[in-house]
Structure 1
Amino acid sequence: MTTPPPTTASVTKAQAAALVRAARTRTGLSWAEIADRLGAPLVWTTAALLGQHPMTAEQARTVGALLGLDEAVVAALQDQPYRGSDPALASDPTVYRFHEALSVYGPALKELIHEEFGDGIMSAINFRVDIARRPDPDGDRVVVTFDGKFLDYRW
């Protein structure tokens, strides 16, 4: 009698993200420590582990070993995501403030991009994002940098 090969139940990217967050808390590793071990940018790594980017097999295996994740989670980390966020996340105060900031300043940024670069957009695909802390006497400041390639409209 032959034994069937072992099977691993599949895990969605959202389920994998929840398991990653729990494992990160359990192990005490920071997002920065994980990114450093991967040799990848901090914000990209965090977004990937929260389900917004696919990881390479090597990256997923490294994270799996660091966090003690099973094969189903490691496989899910490599899946292509459905990018974007759950509409329910928009009610989170931090996420909402980004929506608010872009609602208020988005039109001005659009005008300034057009004035400086011409008719086009900032890519969110050929894109980098970074976060930093800047000390300030009135309370530390959060500095978020969006760095996207300019894509001109061509006819």
Structure 2
Amino acid sequence: MMNKELMTAKILEAKVTKGMTWEAIAEAVDMSPVFTTSACLGMNSMAEDKAFALCETLGLDKQVAEALQSCPKKAWDGAVPQDPLIYRLYEIVGVYGDTLKEIIHEKFGDGIMSAIDFSMEVDKEENPKGDRVVVTMNGKFLPYKAW
């Protein structure tokens, strides 16, 4: 079976060859751009019909579709990333993580925001002072249980 790294490389090559955006690929498989991209980068899996639709869209073979369906190992390098955009997201969590935790606990109680029952959107907001990146995260609240 093809591993996720090779799968991602094949998908990225096909994406460039076809001149497609993540938005267009996601639309072709009727999924969100964020989830579609995440699955293509190996951090989520796709249902069989979506995996085969994506491969048909990009002209990829059955091995890529099978790799898209396999359960990922959700792990990443523990080092602070060097990519400026990803680093800034770490910075946001570093600066505002405790604040978000306090506010979530105050509004909901002791628990977490699910990253499983979750959705995220990335939008562009035009602004005369400079375009804005709008990231909306929507996760189910999961209270901790006492026993």
Give me the TM-score of the superposition, normalised by structure 2: 0.93
Q: Given the alignment, which residue of 53, 76, 93 partners 2:84?
A: 93
Relative distance call for 1:100 and 1:142 in structure 2 (3 A) is same
Shift of 1:41: 1.1
CA distance in 1, matches of 2:29, 2:95: 36
Alignment of 1:106-121 (within 5 A): 106-121=97-112
Structure 1 equivalent of residue 35 of structure 2? 44
* Higher Rg: 1
Total equivalences in the alignment: 146
**After the TM superposition, which parts of structure 1 deviate over 6 Å for at least 4 consecutive aligned residues?**
none
Shift of 1:139: 0.7
Indicate whether 1:22 and 2:10 are aligned. no
Shift of 1:89: 8.1
The more displaced of 15-24 and 66-75 is 66-75
Shift of 1:106: 0.3
Indicate whether 1:33 and 2:37 are aligned. no
Shift of 1:87: 4.7
Shift of 1:71: 2.1
Give me the TM-score of the superposition, normalised by structure 1: 0.88
CA distance in 2, matches of 1:77, 1:86: 21
Shift of 1:40: 0.8
Shift of 1:85: 2.9
Relative distance call for 1:75 and 1:86 in structure 2 (3 A) is farther
> % of aligned pairs identical?
43
Task: Extract unaligned runs of 5+ from structure 1.
Answer: 1-9
Structure 1 equivalent of residue 50 of structure 2? 59
Equivalent AA in structure 2 for residue 43 of structure 1: V
CA RMSD of aligned residues (A): 1.4
Structure 1 equivalent of residue 59 of structure 2? 68
